[in-house]
Amino acid sequence: MKTLTDHLTQYAAYHQDQRNVATHFVGIPMIVLAVTTLLSRPAWELGGLPATPALLLAILSSLFYLRLDLRFGLAMVAQLIVSLWISQWIAAQSTATWLGWGIGLFVVGWAIQFLGHYWEGRKPAFVDDLVGLLVGPLFLTAEVAFALKMRQDVHAEMQRRLGEGAHGARRVATA
């Protein structure tokens, strides 16, 4: 099984252009919110709480993140909880509002992502490894942590690996 550093380094290799990384800070949250919104219907009552396909996906994703790393995993769980909360509110609106927000966020989010990869000159990471769809939000969390001088052990190892694999590559979040 790949480690946290393996996943983040592989993903970072596809994201060396700062413009591409910047587009991901907009596009990825939009896509995550779109997916949780679109999967927030149908909802079933389960012990007084709404059970939805979005909740199931969030639980499975959380297990993936927590298995990789407790600290980053907890940060991802918190973000997923916020996304689920917003999504539940959107899903409770009219069908047109629910679909409009869900599809709109999804399409615009991906358009922003593909613009970034156009600038990068490289295809998105998920094309080579579908797990990249889960690693993208984690990568953003890691980039913020690195900018805040947190998790420097992971940051240093990623920089070392990127330096070995791509001469002159962008150093990850050297803020």
Mean pLDDT by 10 residues, the chain (175 residues): 93 88 95 98 86 96 97 98 97 97 97 92 79 93 96 95 65 45
Report how far residue 5's alpha carbon sits from residue 97's, in angstroms, rounded to the nearest whole number. 40
Given this model, what pLDDT does residue 174 score? 44
Given this model, what pLDDT does residue 173 score? 47
- Does the predicted model carry a pTM greater than 0.85? yes
Look at the chain and report how many structural domains it folds into.
1
Q: Judge whether 170 lies within some domain.
A: no
Q: List b or e across 132-158, with b for residues whose CB sees 16 or more CB atoms inside 10 angstroms.
A: bbbbbbbbbbbbebbeeeebeebbebb
Q: Judge whether 72 lies within some domain.
A: yes
Given this model, what pLDDT does residue 20 score? 87
Given this model, what pLDDT does residue 165 score? 64
Report how far residue 98's alpha carbon sits from residue 150's, in angstroms, rounded to the nearest whole number. 37
What is the residue range of 115's domain? 4-165
Q: Judge whether 172 lies within some domain.
A: no
Q: Judge whether 175 lies within some domain.
A: no
Q: Which residue has the tokens 């070995």?
A: 164
Report how far residue 43's alpha carbon sits from residue 31's, in angstroms, rounded to the nearest whole number. 20
Q: Judge whether 171 lies within some domain.
A: no
Q: Judge whether 154 lies within some domain.
A: yes
Q: Judge whether 143 lies within some domain.
A: yes
Q: Judge whether 81 lies within some domain.
A: yes
Given this model, what pLDDT does residue 124 score? 79
Report how far residue 93's alpha carbon sits from residue 109's, in angstroms, rounded to the nearest whole number. 21
